[in-house]
C-alpha cells in the first residue's frame, strides 16, 4: 500500500512538475512575442520623434537643432525655461526646441574659415559670408532685423495657409524680411480673375445644364471689362468693386467644380497670353513713338510764347536799333558768341547764364541765328529783356544773301552710336555713346561773319557756369576748331559709320556745344568747300542724310581739332542719370545733349534746376503762357 501509495505519490509529483515546466515555457514564449512587438514599436516612435534620421546622425542633428535655435535666441527669442536638469518645464521646452529647431548639414560650412563645430549657423557667420560676397551689412542691423522677423514668423502663416518654416534659407522667411506693399493690388486681382473666367467660359458654355452659370460668367466678364475701360489704378475703381470680385470668384469656383476639358482651358489661357503679349508689344512701340514725338515737338507753352511775342511785335513794332549797333556787331576786338536756335527761352538762358558769369559784360556780343517763323518773336524778346551791358543781334538766316547756298536753319545734329568695345568679346561688350555734331548751317559761319576772326559757338541746350573770357586768348596752334573731345570714342570704333574713307583711326570724336572757331584759319583751308565736297560724295553712297552729316563733319575737321580741357564742358545732362554732382558743379559749361532737354517735362529733374535758375521770372508773357519757373 505504501509502495503503491508512494508510487502514486511519485506519479502525482511528476505530473505537477511537468505542468509547471510547460507553463513556464508558455509564459516565456508570450514574453518573447510581446517583446518582439514592443521593440519595432519603440523604434517606430523614436523615428517619428527624430524625423527618421539615421542612427549615426540623430544625436548630432539634435544637438545642431538645439544649438541653432539658441543661436536664434540671441536675436530676440528668450528662453525662459529653467535650465536645471530634470525639470518638467525644462524638458518640455527642450523637446519643443528639438522639434522646431532648424537642422543644417555640416557641408554648408565645409568651406568656411569659421565653421562652427556643431554645424549650426549664427548671425556672425551670415554677416561674414555676406561680406565675402561683397555686401556690407552692419552686424547690429542684421541682429535687429532678424530678431523682429523671427518673432513675427513664429505666429505667421504664408498665403497658402502653411506655417512658415523657421530655418535658414526659408523662402517664407525671406519673403517676410523683404516684404513690399503691392501697388494697385485690387486691379491685379481683378485682372487675374478676368483671365481665369475667360479661360473657363468657353468650356462651361458648352454644358447644356449650366446655362445659368455660363450667363453669370459672361456677365461678370463684361462687367470687369467695362471697369478696366475706365480704371487703371485702385483709386479709379468704382464703389462696391470688392463685392464684384467676390461674385466672380464664386462663379469661377463653381466652374472649377465641373469636369471640363483641360485642353480647352489651356488653349484659352495661351490665347489670352499671346493676346496680352501682342498688346504689350504694341504699347511699347506706341510709347517709343510718342516719346520721340514729344522730344522733337515744341512744347505748347513755348509755342504759345513764340506766337504771343510775334503778335505783339506786329501790334507795336520794335524800334530799329540795328544801324546804330552795326559797328559793334562786326568789331573783331569784342567777344562774339553765335547761337543757332528756334527756341526763344533756350536762347535767353544761354545768353543770361553767360553774361551773369562774365567779368566784363560790355565786351560781349551775341548773334542769334533763327528762321523766319521765330525771327519776330526773338526780336521782341531781346528788345524787351536786357542782359547787363551785353549786345544781342537777331538774324533771320533766310534773309541772308549768300551766293550758291540754300539758306535754311539747321540745328546741331545729335547721334546715338553703338559699337563693339575693344575691351572684350564683341558679343558681350556693346557700348552706346551720344555725339553732337555741327549742322549744315554751321559751315556758313565764315561767310556770314566775314569781318570776324574768331567766334565761340554755343548750342541752345547749354548753361554757362563760369567766365569764358579765357577762351579768347587760347593759342590754338594752327587748329581750326577748339572742342572737348571724347577719346572714349576713337574713329576706329566708328568704321561702320565712316565707311571706306581714309582717316586717322586714333583720332577722337569731338562734341559741339562749346566750340572756339578760328575763322581766319577756316577760310585759309576753305573747310566749307571741303565739307560740301564730302557731302556730295557721301550722298551718292549713303541714303540717310544724318549719317552723311556725321561722316562729313568728322572727316572735315580731321587733325584740325584743338582739344579743350574736359572741365570746360560736361555733356550728357540730357540722357545720363548717373553724372557726378561734383563734376557738374566744377564744369564751366553744362551741355544737355540727348532727348531729355531741360525745357521739356521729360527732362531729367535733378539737372533741370541748373537751367531754370537762369530763366526770366518776371516777364508777363511767361505768365500768360503758363511757363513755370
Q: Exposed/middle/buried for 148, CB within 10 Å: 0-12, 13-18, 19+?
A: middle
Report residue 306's pLDDT band, with 50, 70 and 90 as the boundaries. very high
Report residue 483's pLDDT band, with 50, 70 and 90 as the boundaries. very high
134-148, 150-164, 421-435: least confident range: 134-148
Q: What percent of the chain has pLDDT over 90?
A: 30
- The predicted structure's pLDDT at residue 186: 86
Sheet holding 569-571, edge to edge: 462-464, 589-591, 569-571
- The predicted structure's pLDDT at residue 63: 40
Report residue 392's pLDDT band, with 50, 70 and 90 as the boundaries. very high
Same domain, 349 and 459: yes
Same domain, 252 and 396: no
- Asked whether the predicted pLDDT for residue 613 surpasses 50, the reply is yes
**Domain housing 616:** 305-621
Average pLDDT, the chain: 75
- Asked whether the predicted pLDDT for residue 466 surpasses 60, the reply is yes
Tally of CB atoms within 10 A around 230: 9
Same domain, 79 and 137: yes
- The whole-number average pLDDT for the span 366-391 is 93
Domain boundary among the residues 175, 196, 226 is at: 175
Check if the beta carbon of residue 567 is closer than 8 Å to that of residue 585.
no
Domain boundary among the residues 134, 155, 175 is at: 175
136-145, 300-309, 362-371, 458-467: least confident range: 136-145
Asked if residue 536 belongs to a domain, the reply is yes
Better-scored residue on pLDDT, 160 or 307: 307
- Asked whether the predicted pLDDT for residue 83 surpasses 60, the reply is no
Asked if residue 406 belongs to a domain, the reply is yes
- The predicted structure's pLDDT at residue 260: 73
Same domain, 418 and 402: yes
- The predicted structure's pLDDT at residue 462: 96
Asked if residue 3 belongs to a domain, the reply is no
Q: What percent of the chain has pLDDT over 70?
A: 68
Report residue 363's pLDDT band, with 50, 70 and 90 as the boundaries. very high
Residues 6+ apart with CB under 8 A from 351: 337, 339, 366, 368, 387, 390, 392
| CA distance linking residue 348 with residue 355, whole number of Å | 11
Report residue 94's pLDDT band, with 50, 70 and 90 as the boundaries. low
Cα angle 149, 151, 152; round to 5: 65
- The whole-number average pLDDT for the span 525-541 is 86
Asked if residue 385 belongs to a domain, the reply is yes
- The predicted structure's pLDDT at residue 150: 34
DSSP 168-184: TT-HHHHHHHT--PPTT
Asked if residue 74 belongs to a domain, the reply is yes
- The predicted structure's pLDDT at residue 175: 64
120-124, 192-196, 290-294, 467-471: least confident range: 120-124
Same domain, 44 and 97: no
Q: At what angle do helices 55-73 and 88-100 cross, to 10 degrees?
A: 100
Report residue 500's pLDDT band, with 50, 70 and 90 as the boundaries. low
- Asked whether the predicted pLDDT for residue 523 surpasses 90, the reply is yes
Same domain, 283 and 336: no
Same domain, 487 and 516: yes
- The whole-number average pLDDT for the span 116-121 is 37
Same domain, 342 and 384: yes
Better-scored residue on pLDDT, 577 or 264: 577
Q: Is 484 helix (H, G, I), strand (E, B) or coil?
A: coil
Q: In this structure, is the dihedral angle defined by the CA atoms of residues 11, 16, 20 and 23, taken in order, positive or negative?
A: positive
Same domain, 41 and 69: no
Of 32-41, 86-95, 169-178, 416-425, which has the strongest mean pLDDT? 32-41
Could you give the number of structural domains in the chain? 4
- The predicted structure's pLDDT at residue 18: 56
Q: Exposed/middle/buried for 369, CB within 10 Å: 0-12, 13-18, 19+?
A: buried
Same domain, 522 and 481: yes
Based on its alpha-carbon atoms, the radius of gyration of the chain, rounded to whole angstroms, reads 43
Better-scored residue on pLDDT, 372 or 140: 372
pTM listed for this prediction: 0.60
Asked if residue 23 belongs to a domain, the reply is yes
Determine phi and psi for 457, rounding to 5 degrees: -95, 125
Per residue in 25-76, pLDDT (tens digit) is 777 777 777 777 776 666 555 554 444 444 433 333 344 344 443 433 433 4
Q: At what angle do helices 300-315 and 372-384 cross, to 10 degrees?
A: 80
Same domain, 288 and 313: no
Rounded to an integer, what is the distance from CA 220 to the centroid of its chain? 37
- Asked whether the predicted pLDDT for residue 98 surpasses 80, the reply is no
Same domain, 342 and 430: yes
- Asked whether the predicted pLDDT for residue 133 surpasses 80, the reply is no
Asked if residue 463 belongs to a domain, the reply is yes
- Asked whether the predicted pLDDT for residue 571 surpasses 90, the reply is yes
- The predicted structure's pLDDT at residue 506: 73
**Of 490, 482, 488, 546, residue with least CA distance to 513:** 482
Domain boundary among the residues 33, 52, 71 is at: 52
Asked if residue 434 belongs to a domain, the reply is yes
Place of cell 586717322: 504
- First-to-final CA distance of the chain: 144
Report residue 549's pLDDT band, with 50, 70 and 90 as the boundaries. confident
Amino acid at each position: 500500500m505504501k509502495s503503491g501509495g508512494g508510487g502514486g505519490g511519485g506519479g502525482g509529483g511528476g505530473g505537477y512538475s511537468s505542468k509547471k515546466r510547460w507553463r513556464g515555457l508558455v509564459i516565456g514564449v508570450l514574453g518573447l512575442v510581446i517583446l518582439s512587438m514592443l521593440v519595432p514599436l519603440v523604434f517606430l516612435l523614436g523615428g517619428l520623434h527624430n524625423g527618421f534620421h539615421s542612427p549615426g546622425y540623430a544625436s548630432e542633428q539634435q544637438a545642431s537643432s538645439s544649438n541653432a535655435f539658441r543661436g536664434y535666441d540671441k536675436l530676440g527669442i528668450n528662453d525662459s525655461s529653467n535650465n536645471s536638469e530634470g525639470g518638467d518645464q525644462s524638458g518640455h521646452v527642450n523637446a519643443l526646441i528639438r522639434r522646431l529647431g532648424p537642422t543644417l548639414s555640416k557641408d554648408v560650412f565645409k568651406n568656411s574659415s569659421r565653421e562652427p563645430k556643431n554645424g549650426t549657423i549664427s548671425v556672425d557667420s551670415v554677416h561674414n559670408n555676406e561680406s565675402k560676397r561683397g555686401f556690407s551689412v552692419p552686424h547690429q542691423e542684421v541682429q535687429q532685423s532678424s530678431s523682429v522677423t523671427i518673432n513675427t514668423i513664429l505666429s505667421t502663416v504664408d498665403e497658402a495657409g502653411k506655417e512658415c518654416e523657421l530655418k535658414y534659407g526659408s523662402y517664407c522667411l525671406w519673403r517676410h524680411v523683404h516684404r513690399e506693399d503691392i501697388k494697385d493690388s485690387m486691379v491685379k486681382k481683378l485682372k487675374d480673375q478676368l483671365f481665369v473666367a475667360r479661360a473657363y467660359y468657353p468650356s462651361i458654355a458648352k454644358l447644356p445644364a449650366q446655362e445659368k452659370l455660363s450667363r453669370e460668367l459672361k456677365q461678370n466678364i463684361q462687367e470687369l471689362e467695362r471697369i478696366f475701360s475706365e480704371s487703371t489704378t485702385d483709386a479709379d475703381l468704382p464703389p462696391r468693386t470688392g463685392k464684384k470680385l467676390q461674385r466672380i470668384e464664386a462663379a469661377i469656383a463653381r466652374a472649377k467644380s465641373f469636369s471640363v476639358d483641360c485642353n480647352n482651358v489651356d488653349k484659352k489661357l495661351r490665347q489670352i497670353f499671346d493676346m496680352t503679349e501682342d498688346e504689350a508689344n504694341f504699347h511699347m512701340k506706341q510709347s517709343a513713338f510718342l516719346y520721340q514725338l514729344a522730344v522733337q515737338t515744341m512744347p505748347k507753352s513755348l509755342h504759345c510764347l513764340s506766337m504771343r511775342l510775334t503778335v505783339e511785335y506786329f501790334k507795336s513794332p520794335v524800334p530799329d536799333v540795328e544801324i546804330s549797333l552795326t559797328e559793334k556787331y562786326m568789331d573783331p576786338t569784342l567777344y562774339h558768341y553765335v547761337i543757332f536756335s528756334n527756341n526763344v527761352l533756350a536762347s535767353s538762358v544761354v545768353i543770361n547764364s553767360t553774361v551773369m558769369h562774365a567779368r566784363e559784360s560790355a565786351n560781349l556780343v551775341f548773334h542769334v541765328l533763327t528762321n523766319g517763323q521765330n525771327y519776330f518773336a526773338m526780336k521782341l524778346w531781346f528788345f524787351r529783356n536786357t542782359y547787363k551791358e551785353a549786345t544781342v543781334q537777331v538774324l533771320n538766316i533766310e534773309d541772308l544773301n549768300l551766293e550758291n547756298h540754300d539758306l535754311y536753319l539747321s540745328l546741331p545734329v545729335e547721334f546715338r552710336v553703338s559699337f563693339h568695345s575693344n575691351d572684350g568679346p564683341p558679343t558681350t561688350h556693346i557700348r552706346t555713346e551720344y555725339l553732337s555734331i555741327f549742322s549744315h548751317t554751321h559751315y556758313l559761319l565764315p561767310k556770314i561773319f566775314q569781318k570776324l576772326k574768331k567766334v565761340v559757338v554755343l548750342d541752345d541746350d547749354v548753361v554757362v557756369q563760369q567766365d569764358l573770357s579765357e577762351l579768347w586768348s587760347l593759342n590754338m596752334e594752327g587748329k581750326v576748331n577748339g572742342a572737348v573731345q571724347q577719346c572714349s570714342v576713337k574713329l576706329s570704333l566708328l568704321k561702320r559709320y565712316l565707311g571706306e574713307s581714309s582717316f586717322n583711326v586714333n583720332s577722337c570724336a569731338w562734341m559741339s556745344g562749346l566750340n572756339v572757331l578760328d575763322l581766319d584759319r577756316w577760310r585759309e583751308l576753305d573747310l566749307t568747300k571741303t565739307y560740301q565736297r564730302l557731302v556730295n560724295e557721301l550722298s551718292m553712297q549713303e541714303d540717310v542724310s544724318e549719317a552723311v552729316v556725321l561722316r562729313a563733319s568728322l572727316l572735315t575737321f580731321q587733325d584740325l581739332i584743338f582739344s579743350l580741357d574736359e572741365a570746360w564742358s560736361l555733356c550728357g545732362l540730357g540722357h545720363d542719370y548717373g553724372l557726378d554732382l561734383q563734376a557738374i558743379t566744377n564744369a564751366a559749361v553744362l551741355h544737355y545733349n540727348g532727348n531729355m532737354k531741360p525745357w521739356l517735362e521729360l527732362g531729367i529733374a535733378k539737372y533741370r534746376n541748373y537751367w531754370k535758375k537762369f530763366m526770366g521770372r518776371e516777364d508777363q508773357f511767361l505768365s500768360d503762357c503758363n511757363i513755370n519757373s
